Amino acid sequence: MGVIDSHTHVIATDADRYPVDPIGGRQSTWSVEHPVDVDGLLAALDEAEIDRAVVVQASTVYGHDNRYLADSIRAHPDRLTGVFSLDALAPDAVDRINHWQDQGLSGFRLFTTGTTMPGQADWLGHEDSYPVWECAQAQDIPVCLQMTIEGIPALQRILEQFPRVKVVLDHCARPILSDGPPYAEARGLFQLAEYPGVHLKVTHRALQAAGEGASTVDDFLAALLAAYGSRRLIWGSNFPAAAGPLSGLLADARSALGGLDPADAANVFGGSVANFYALREQGPQHV
């Protein structure tokens, strides 16, 4: 199993064909200052020697207009897998899921927080979103959640209603880790491990938080492995939202996670995301 990046973005150069319409009304700074289109992403993947990437809709650029994402995936299905953005409260949300899945995309993203929308949106877990979760569970569609740790009680309510749904939390739900082991401030994150469909993206944001205060990356990683096992931990670069070359982001992650044994590392850097998105190759299955 080669390396698979679970969290990248693409920004079109043609703003007339793909107009900006960010969730929350404000475009993200990174997408203005250092955007990368699909050709740039492919070049970065080649330079970093990354086999495949999951492209997550740039919600702070295009909102729920997933056309550039779909066009990018359609042009490069051998290298890229796409996750579309969705308004979970829209009356036609299930129709939108079916539409974008038919366009070749492989899961949807719910955006409830971010640099342009700080805090935790209160609609997560609203009953009006239940048809979306029911659809995801029935069709085995992966869900990507951009949320904070404050949203965990709402997510727990959802998982009680839809226990077979598969969810991956961007940036490990942005936990507070500075108190160090046993990570009382992030207790909810570890409690989510009881739901077998919950997976975590171990990104630069999560690793940065793990090195603050009384915490170390090794301590946080040990706690994650004890709770989730490596089959539910997924590396993502967040390129190009994260500054710097993709090859550097991968090198930094490999260095930070250097304590992983080879089988666990193979899962985190490829196998787990292959399993989550049902990609053809499967990674090692080491707990």
In a domain, 32, yes or no: yes
pLDDT of amino acid 123: 80
In a domain, 286, yes or no: no
Of the pLDDT bands very low, low, confident and very high (cuts 50, 70, 90), residue 220 is very high
Single pTM value for the model: 0.93
Task: State the CATH number of the domain containing residue 197.
Answer: 3.20.20.140
Work out the average pLDDT over 192-204: 97
Count up the domains in the chain and report the number: 1
Q: How many Å apart are CA 80 and CA 6, to the nearest integer?
A: 10
Q: If residue 157 lies in a helix (H) or strand (E), which one and from where to where?
A: helix 152-161
Of the pLDDT bands very low, low, confident and very high (cuts 50, 70, 90), residue 287 is very low
Pick 219 or 122 by higher pLDDT: 219
In a domain, 193, yes or no: yes
In a domain, 231, yes or no: yes
In a domain, 281, yes or no: no
Q: Give per-residue burial for 133-148: e unless 16+ CB within 10 Å, then b.
A: bebbbeeebbbbbbbb
3-state secondary structure of 83: strand
Percent of the chain, pLDDT > 90?
A: 90
**Contact indicator for 235, 265 with CB cutoff of 8 Å:** no
Maximum Cα interatomic distance, the chain, rounded to a whole number of Å:
51
Residues 79-111: tens digit of each pLDDT: 999 999 999 999 999 999 999 999 999 999 998
Q: How far is CA 121 from the centre of its chain?
A: 17
In a domain, 272, yes or no: yes
Of the pLDDT bands very low, low, confident and very high (cuts 50, 70, 90), residue 285 is very low
Q: Which of 236, 241, 245 is nearest to 273 (CA)?
A: 236
H/E/C letters for each residue in 20-45? CCCHHHCCCHHHHHCCCCHHHHHHHH
Give helix then strand counts, H and E, for the chain.
13, 8
pLDDT of amino acid 284: 41
In a domain, 15, yes or no: yes
**Contact indicator for 45, 93 with CB cutoff of 8 Å:** no
Q: Domain containing 170: what range?
A: 4-276
Per-residue pLDDT at 113 exceeds 90: no
Two tokens at 231?
């089959």
In a domain, 235, yes or no: yes
